[in-house]
A and B are shown apart, each in its own frame.
Chain A
Amino acid sequence: MTEIHARKRGRLLRRIMHMPTGRIGLALTAAVLFVALIGPWILPYAPNAIDVPSRLLPPSLSHPLGTDQLGRDILARVAVGLRVAIIISVVAVTLALLVGAVIGTTAAMLGGIADRLAAILFDTISAFPAVVLALAIIALYGAKTSNLIILVALVFVPHFGRIARAQTLVLRNAPFIAAERMLGLSLPIIILRHVVPNTIGPLLIVASMNIPVVITIEAGLSFLGLGVPPPTPSLGTLLRDGYIYLEQSPWPAAMSATALAVLTLSSTLVGEAVRDAVDPRIKTR
């Protein structure tokens, strides 16, 4: 079983490498992951180490991306910020995937009113522009990292729920599911053993494509001061600091803007390459 999976994964990677956009995306992602994972270990500066005399320095050999308004090393802060962004987006997307899959699959299997309610719920949530909904909810419940994850996940539940529901509706009347029902298997077992393995593929693709979107929302909320609370460096907060001190030095803003752009670009390229490699017919955007 694991061997088949390994071989399958190898093929996927090779297919991604065949596309020029996939190669660029993988290379950029590798660079981003390197900075995020290894950076905090090998960099000489702590992300929150204040050194006021050397504030707002332009990039140099000792500070490759310069320093911010308190003399903190921007590269060290970017490294931690990348980490934060990656963790938050992966956790939020996983949460959205799980909740969406459970609601979508169960509703489709049960049919009737439950199915209708699920469809209405998904439609209602996705009627809101994602950023505006996240803003409104965060405003009410306060800016905390845990809130941020839960609420961003909520915004994305319909994406997964809809697909899980559509996939399950196709499967529901398949002969092998009907046969299992007749054999007397309970609904949870049918769903877990036989429906989920058949619906998980498209869900994972949508997940990989949603990661950059979640990164954008997290950074956006942090930029407005409504996301990850300080002192944790988030790319959004870095950008906000840079924006505030733009008149004195454009470097902090330029550097954190670049870091954020590279992160979203690399994850978008990889997400799309995964989609094209697995199933070119699925187009979500």
Chain B
Amino acid sequence: MLLLFTITLFVPGDLASVLLGPRATAETRAAFADRMGLDDPILYRLGTFFGQLLRGDLGMDILTGRPIATMLFEVLPNTLSLVAVALVIGFAVGIPLGCFAVLRAGSLSDTALAVLSVALISTPAFVVAIIFLIVFSLWLDWLPVTGVGKTGDILDQARHLLLPALTLAVGWIGYTARLVRASVLEAMGEAHIRTLRSYGVREDRLVGRFALKLGVIPVIATMGLAIPELIGGAVFVEIIFARPGIGTMLFQAIQVRNYPVVQACVLVTVVAAVTANLLADMVYGLLDPRVRS
């Protein structure tokens, strides 16, 4: 947060003249600087910034004059549902793929899956978004492309959510598949799995029922790392599919140099990322008693 504040301090040029444009008079500039507290001493500004933050006040949008916190609450559910659905899709597709790779470990389909998961991970979200746009809406004309759907109509909203969430999920699918494969393979070497195998438990049941229990734990642990990446990807996905959300809000604010809004958006994403990390750590401790000591 301190970093966030310092970044805005070092903006080249006088903030007031940058924001108001070249045609602003000296008086309007001075009035603006006064209103935004630009001429106050740095430490004082730092104090007010944190003070307002603690009271949940993120400042005013300098263009419309609306409180930024309200604006954020309007779009936040869109972004959160996007990220959440993407995570669920990632799990739902990635875990079976990983288990399949374990059953076929070393075979050609295993290698093909390995390359496929790297491809899924490495392809940037905005590239996937454009490919999906071409295939699903231009070519096949299956799904709506822009917006979030009519408010109140849950089915319509779900239809609008599907393509962006799928786009965002692609990387996470590859990532989950790979992680599950590695950790389930490791779990297959555990003593209790060997015992179960000698009892005659079938291989697919060993993987899906017993080894997976251990194999899923690292996936949960890395969710903390994945969520910041998903949020970063969500910025692009929201812009391409023209969904209102934190990403679109951030981008629009950047284009008109609406710094308080930029600051607030970045702040929210950082808080979300840190919280996700913390939660993932806690869940990890709950699931795996071995790390608690």
Contact = CB atoms under 8 A, between A and B. Distances in A.
Contacts of A219: 124, 126-127
Given A128-B270, A246-B138, A264-B124, A140 B7 contact: yes
Contacts of A130: 228-229, 232
A141 B262 CA distance: 13
B122 A212 contact: yes
Interface stretch (A2-10, A37-45, A71-79, A252-260): A252-260
A246 B232 CA distance: 24
B154 interface: no
B118 A268 contact: yes
Contacts of B236: 131, 220, 223-224
Contact of A260 (B12, B124, B133, B254): B124
Interface in B248-285: 250-251, 253-254, 257, 259, 262-263, 265-266, 269-270, 273-274
Interface in B5-41: 7-8, 11-12
Given A21-B114, A140-B11, A246-B138, A226 B232 contact: no
Contacts, number: 132
Contacts of A140: 7-8, 11, 259, 262
B121 interface: yes
A239 interface: yes
Interface in B105-140: 111, 114-115, 118-119, 121-124, 126-127, 130-131, 133-134, 138-139
B232 A125 contact: no
A141 B12 contact: yes
A112 interface: no
Q: Interface size bucket, A side? A: 35 or more
A274 B111 CA distance: 17
A127 B231 CA distance: 13
Contacts of A254: 130-131, 134
A253 B134 contact: yes
B3 interface: yes
B102 interface: no
Contacts of A265: 118-119, 122-123
A129 B231 contact: yes
A183 interface: no
Q: Which secondary structure dominates chain A's binding surface?
A: helix
A27 to B, nearest CB: 12
B225 to A, nearest CB: 8
Given A220-B126, A246-B138, A136 B262 contact: yes
Given A125-B3, A268-B122, 14 more contacts: A20-B114, A21-B111, A127-B274, A131-B233, A135-B235, A135-B251, A136-B4, A139-B253, A140-B7, A140-B259, A142-B12, A226-B254, A250-B139, A267-B122
23 contacts: A21-B114, A21-B118, A128-B3, A128-B266, A128-B270, A129-B231, A130-B232, A132-B232, A132-B270, A136-B254, A139-B253, A140-B262, A224-B239, A224-B251, A246-B130, A247-B138, A250-B134, A253-B133, A257-B130, A260-B123, A261-B123, A261-B127, A265-B119
Interface of B: 2-4, 7-8, 11-12, 111, 114-115, 118-119, 121-124, 126-127, 130-131, 133-134, 138-139, 175, 228-229, 231-233, 235-236, 239-240, 250-251, 253-254, 257, 259, 262-263, 265-266, 269-270, 273-274
